[in-house]
Amino acid sequence: MTGFAVYESPFGPVRMDYEGEVLVRLRTVEPTQDRGTPTPLTHEAFRQLQEYFAGERREFSLPYALHGTEFQKKVWAALAAIPYGQTRSYRAIAATVGSPRAVRAVGAANGKNPLWIILPCHRVVGADGSLTGYAGGLEMKKRLLELEKTSLERNGESG
């Protein structure tokens, strides 16, 4: 069974697409009356997102399936490995996936990340540390990075 469910988040409506018992896409959407068909999976995903937004969760434990090229899947795996509260440059991700000259391709794969926040593409920044490109907009990227930094500081940790 494929379907979707829409939940309200601090960043506006979030749509979760699923295939059977796995998430396949998570993204912000325009406000809508159509809430789709929530399932135990989408309820759990939203619960974990709420914990993340509250600074109480650093990693997600959800079943998901990625549909993309092998290169995209390598980039998305590299995103998942970026620790909470830290950032990596597009160049560093390119080196991690074994294609050090593929910085633009990493950017393109990052832009097609189907699981916003779960695969933390907001933690990827320009070589000089600047905030560059984010599907949810630079303001959202900035807020997510600040949320993680504040959470770490509150717990006496550094990123």
Q: pLDDT tens digits for 3-41?
A: 999 999 998 999 999 999 999 999 999 998 999 999 999
Q: pLDDT tens digits for 84-142?
A: 999 999 999 999 999 999 999 999 999 999 998 999 999 999 888 888 877 677 888 89
Global pTM value: 0.89
- Positions marked active-site: 121
**Segment (H or E) for 14:** strand 12-19
Cβ-based neighbours of 120, under 8 Å, separated by 6 or more: 79, 80, 82, 84, 144
What torsion do the CA atoms of 75, 120, 29, 13 make, to the nearest 10 degrees? 160
State the pLDDT at residue 158.
66
